[in-house]
Amino acid sequence: MKTHAMVLREHGGPEVLVPEEVELGPLRPGHVRIRVRAVALNHLDLWVRRGLPNLRLEYPHRLGSDIAGEIAAVGDGTTPSLPFVPFVVGQRALVNPGLSCGTCLRCLSGKDMLCKAYRILGENTQGGYAEHIDVPTANLVPYPGDLPFSEAAAIPLVFLTAWEMLVEKARVGPGTVVLVQAAGSGVSSAAIQIAKLHGARVIATTGSDEKVTKALELGADHVINNRTHDFVKEVRRLTDKQGVDVVVEHVGGETFTQSILATARGGMVVTCGATSGFHPEIDLRQIFFRQVEVKGSTMGSKGHLFAIVRHVEEGSLRPVVGRVLPLNEVREAHRALEAREVFGKVVLVLD
């Protein structure tokens, strides 16, 4: 079966994304074919498009990790349904973007994101910039009520990432003081909400007064415009010179260095990315003298997305969509995300 897609055949700027008909091949047992209705962008899309060390792609490559749509077909021999996730043609579907072997010790222990075979849709395997995509049934989660496709697609990767950082690694709770860097990003807009859901006090940073207002509306207790204020000094002022217990970090570069300085003694910096640079300068004395933990984090357990979706249905968490564009305007979507013009997610929709 052929399907319309936006693909890349080389690395570069947004101009390398081009329309093409691609062959999906036969639908395998244990898989479903999704008619994609919306696919959200992540910074991962930008990194893959530009090129990453040791990244091997099968061309033409389709980006896109976050997918919402409808089941178009079910593979032969596939179990008709699992609890809470019916595999019925026409059923709305939300896709977990993390793929793993499903049989190793880490997968069976609920730590599938540590599986040696772990892959993310759109990164090192084909993604959702297309009218159709085939995914394992293990990657389906209950669709969140009657949420529009464009909002549902804004949930999986960023909420799963932020949940793993804050709930699983940092163990935030009432009284925890959390600094969320770059509040307008998808991960950070999710992190603000998850931290507040668990009773934490949230200080956020962002680069414009407009985004300051949006972050406050999202629930942050304090928001610092880091283009007009030194956020380390502001954090110390807001915490009686103590610093924060946890920093949600994905900016990297100089911001990562300063994040360590904003952390309290015995605090933690959890990082899931480095949008402004992979090589920060770190004074190790700030780590060992003040006993600061630094933890890396990528995605999260498949099972946690079920809890996240329930919170979305109940209204205690909500996806934040800043801009919606049709798939054929994917170049503009990449430009807007790259320019940091949008608060929340940029989403592509398909008729």
Full pLDDT tens readout for the chain, 351 residues: 899 999 999 999 999 999 999 999 899 988 999 999 999 999 999 999 999 888 889 999 999 999 999 999 998 766 655 555 667 889 999 999 999 999 999 999 999 999 999 999 999 999 999 999 999 999 999 999 999 999 999 999 999 999 999 999 999 999 999 999 999 999 999 999 999 999 999 999 999 999 999 999 999 999 999 999 999 999 999 999 999 999 999 999 999 999 999 999 999 999 998 888 888 899 999 999 999 999 999 999 999 999 999 999 999 999 999 999 999 999 999 999 999 999 999 999 998
Alpha helices for 239-338 (secondary structure H): 253-261, 285-288, 302-314, 330-338
Nearest-angstrom CA–CA distance, 308 and 147 = 14
Question: Can you give the pLDDT at residue 86?
Answer: 65
- DSSP, collapsed to helix, strand or coil, labels residue 267 as strand
Phi-psi region of 61 (alpha: psi -120 to 50; beta: other; left: phi over 0): beta
Nearest-angstrom CA–CA distance, 225 and 107 = 41
Alpha helices for 43-178 (secondary structure H): 43-50, 105-108, 149-152, 156-163
- DSSP, collapsed to helix, strand or coil, labels residue 39 as strand
Superfamily of the domain at 159-296:
Medium-chain alcohol dehydrogenases, catalytic domain (3.90.180.10)
Question: Can you give the pLDDT at residue 53?
Answer: 84
- Six token digits for residue 286: 């700030």
CATH number for the segment(s) 2-154+319-349:
3.90.180.10
Question: Can you give the pLDDT at residue 2?
Answer: 93
Q: What is the DSSP string of 285-309?
A: HHHHTTT-EEEE--S--HHHHHHHH
Is the bond into 174 cis (omega within 30 degrees of 0)?
Answer: no
Which residues touch 277 (CB under 8 Å, ≥6 apart)? 252, 253, 254
Looking at the chain, the domain(s) classified CATH 3.90.180.10 span 2-154+319-349, 159-296
Question: Can you give the pLDDT at residue 81?
Answer: 53
